[in-house]
A and B are shown apart, each in its own frame.
Chain A
Amino acid sequence: MTREQFRPENHPNDHFLLTTVVGSYKKPKWLDRARELLEDEDASFDEDDWEEAADDAARLITEEHERSGLDAVVDGEMRRNEMVEYFAHLIEGYEFNGRVKVWGHNYFDKPSVVENVEYGQEWLVDEFEFTDSVAERPVKVPITGPYTLASWSFNEVYDDDEALAYDLADLVNEEIERLVDAGAKYIQIDEPALATTPDDHAIVGNCLDRIVENVPEDVRIGLHVCYGDYSRIYPEMLDYPVDEYDLELCNGNYEQLDVFTEHEFTKDLALGVVDVHVAEVEPVAEIKENIKKGFEIVPPEQLTVSPDCGLKLLPREVAYGKMENMVQAAREVEEELDAGEIDVGLAAPTSD
Chain B
Amino acid sequence: MSVIVFKAILVVVLFLVSLGIAAYSTYAERKIAAFLQDRIGPDRAGPFGLLQPIADGVKMFLKEEIIPTLSDKFLFILGPSMFMVTTLMVSAVIPWGLPLDIGGEMFALQVADVNIGILYVLGVVSLGVYGIMIGGWASNNKYALLGAIRASSQMISYELAMGMSVVAILLMTNGSLSLNHIVEAQGTGKLYGFINISGMNWNVFYQPVAFLIFLICAFAEANRTPFDLPESESELIGGFHTEYSSMKLGLYLFGEYINMFISSAIISCLFFGGYNFPGIEYLGTILPHNILSIISVLVLFGKIFFFIFFFMWVRWTIPRFRYDQLMRLGWQVLMPIAIVNVLLTALGITLFGN
**Do A and B interact?**
no
Report B's interface with A, CB cutoff 8 A: none
